[in-house]
Amino acid sequence: MPDYVLGLSAYFHDSACALLRDGEIVAAAQEERFSRQKADERFPRLALGSVLKDGGIGLKDLRAIVYYEKPWLSFSRLIETAIENAPLGLASFLASTPSWLDWKLNIRGEIQKEIAKIDKASSKQLPILFSSHHLSHAAAAYYPSGFDDAAVLCLDGVGEYATTSVWLGEDNRLKPLWEIRFPHSLGLIYAAFTWFCGFKINSGEYKLMGLAPFGKPRFRDLILKELIHVHDDGTFKLNMKYFAFHTGLRMVSKKFSELFGVDARPFEGPMDEIYKDLAASIQSVTEEIMVRLAETVRRETGKRRLCLAGGVALNCVANGRILERELFEEIFIQPAAGDAGGALGAALAAWHMHYEMPMKKCLNRDFMKGALLGPSFSNSDVELEMKKAGLRFHQLDEAKMNEIVAAMLNDGKVIGWFQGRMEFGPRALGSRSILGDARRADMQKTMNLKIKFREGFRPFAPIVMEERASSHFALSKSSPYMLFTAKSLHPEQLPAVTHVDQSARIQTVSPTVNAKLHALLSEFERQTGIPVLINTSFNVRGEPIVMNPQQAISCFLNTDIDALAIEDLLVTKTDNPQIHKKENWRDNFELD
């Protein structure tokens, strides 16, 4: 009988589940896609049901559940921090203590309670294991990489104690080498600037990264002098007098504002030049630290391959800087690099290190299966939802679908693209995507303001046929998970996906990983000579990416998306003149 192991992250942010069968990744999904609550931290009940369904099993078939961190160590860190900084922070510590004593220290009991709601017998029989936070990150990066050996670098806000850690991966083992501990955190200083520039922590960091090219890094030296001391090897130490995240609920102290001569930008407030310059400055510092750390890891381990994970590893601009330096022959970055990916890493760590199972070989090294690990839906599922919505639609074979969609894109139309299994992680990778023509200079503004309802400065990413990427971008490696930026070689050809610094966050599309998307790009190239399209996530601002046909149809109906290609069915606004957007459609979003 197959062995099944379930990984679980929950109760802090980005709860998720991941299922392994004999060490192979079967399914993985975030709770937010089902609950429609952004960064949902609750027990992932809906995601759990989905991955078990994809695996064709029940809870009774699991060998174990593995939680992605060790709560007792996190609580120990909170106590130590409170003692070290007393009396500062005492009020916030006392306020948080009841929840820790009530349930956060009894995660095992909480999981058992939730499992009992589904299957009472399994709640008492299932072993529940615990991985450390950074081991979960390291495992999520190393084991799916396909590398026999590699150095692993993890960077995030904080795990139990670690904020940065370095590991050595050899065969099926991960060995910790060294770490930087809380409160000294690259993730938290970046989060502090994210908050100060008026964006939400744990979701707005990529906005700060996108804002950075519009500014000048004129505060870089001041940051390095006052806020963070960086050693030649990339290790660092924060000057805690400027921060407050270790003593209370605020990210920065008053001295932070005094240092830069400006107050924090209100959420949704005016985007003055100084905030652009602050974004550019902290982005520059982050890139420098990550490059120095990568150089140190290469020198100390001698490894020719690097794996990256943790929320900071989603900084694709810094990743591009590491790639440019050619320090490593190969780099793999976990596409679900944040806490959601910790669920996958926890399961993999248990499989290989607790149960001592060997590594497997995988064709094309694609253990992540293109990160297409979520639920899929049949044509009959889609047709049912189309009829419920009263829509006229066409059923087409793949060749005809691609011909029509490519022609619409060439004509300046915006297409909702819903195909196959949902992506795992924060990026839309061509399964739940909105597509547009990258050659049109006005397309970036159109999609931002009329469809995504988001800030006009936000860049869009290109998708490109893998075999054509080097003709359009200064990229020497494949980038299947949109985790590297590179310069556009012909920015005048692709203005809608070329940022103000001439860079692009690239996704290369392989015919072996995403055949449908590759075929569409091929047809678009046949019609236009260009194998590149805009790809952005199928959602609007503030909403998670759509998960099922009902949500995709609702988003299509209530935005300026021109057509929806959903499995083999195509529906257009032209064929449905009765469609009128709801004035407050987000308040009436139909959820499942």
Q: 77-82 long-range CB contacts below 8 Å, 24 or more apart?
A: 77/158, 77/160, 77/161, 77/182, 81/182, 81/183, 81/246, 81/247
pLDDT of 28 over the 90 cut = yes
DSSP bridge pairs for 65 = 6, 128
CATH class entry, domain 379-588: alpha beta
Of residues 12, 11, 54, the one with CA closest to residue 29:
54
Start-to-end CA distance of the chain, whole Å, equals: 34
Listed in order, the ranges of the chain carrying CATH 3.30.420.40 are 4-145+337-370, 186-333
What lies within 8 Å, CB to CB, of 555 at 6+ separation is 416, 538, 539, 540, 543, 546, 561
For the cut 50, the answer to whether the pLDDT of residue 210 exceeds it is yes
Helix (H, G, I), strand (E, B) or coil at 201: coil
**CATH 3.90.870.20 domain range(s) in the chain:** 379-588
Quick check: 584 pLDDT over 50? no
- Cα–Cα dist 225/239, whole Å: 10
- In tens, the pLDDT along 466-480 reads 999 999 999 988 999
User: DSSP labels for 412-457?
Assistant: T--EEEE-SSPBSSSS--SSEEEEE-TT-TTHHHHIIIIIS---TT
Q: Decide if pLDDT at 582 tops 60.
A: no
- Total-model pTM: 0.95
Q: What is the SS3 assignment for 285? A: helix
Residue 127 DSSP SS3: coil
- What would the mean pLDDT of 300-326 be, rounded to a whole number? 97
Percent of the chain residues past pLDDT 90, beyond the cut: 83
Task: Give me the chain's average pLDDT, please.
Answer: 93
How much is the pLDDT for 460? 87
Band (pLDDT 50/70/90 cuts) for residue 363 is low
Distance in angstroms (rounded) separating the CA atoms of residues 182 and 162: 6
Note whether 427 and 481 are within 8 A (CB).
yes
335 near 345, Cβ under 8 Å? Answer: no
Structure confidence at residue 338 as a pLDDT band (50, 70, 90) = very high
pLDDT of residue 512: 92
Report pLDDT for 266.
94
Name the fold adopted by 4-145+337-370: Nucleotidyltransferase; domain 5 (3.30.420)
Residues 122-138 have a mean pLDDT of: 94
Place of tokens 């049949």: 378
186-333 falls under which CATH superfamily?
A: ATPase, nucleotide binding domain (3.30.420.40)
Phi, psi dihedrals of residue 337, rounded to the nearest 5°: -75, -20
CA distance 29 to 38: 14
Report the percentage of the chain scoring pLDDT > 70.
Answer: 97
Helix axes 339-349, 133-142, angle to 10 degrees: 80
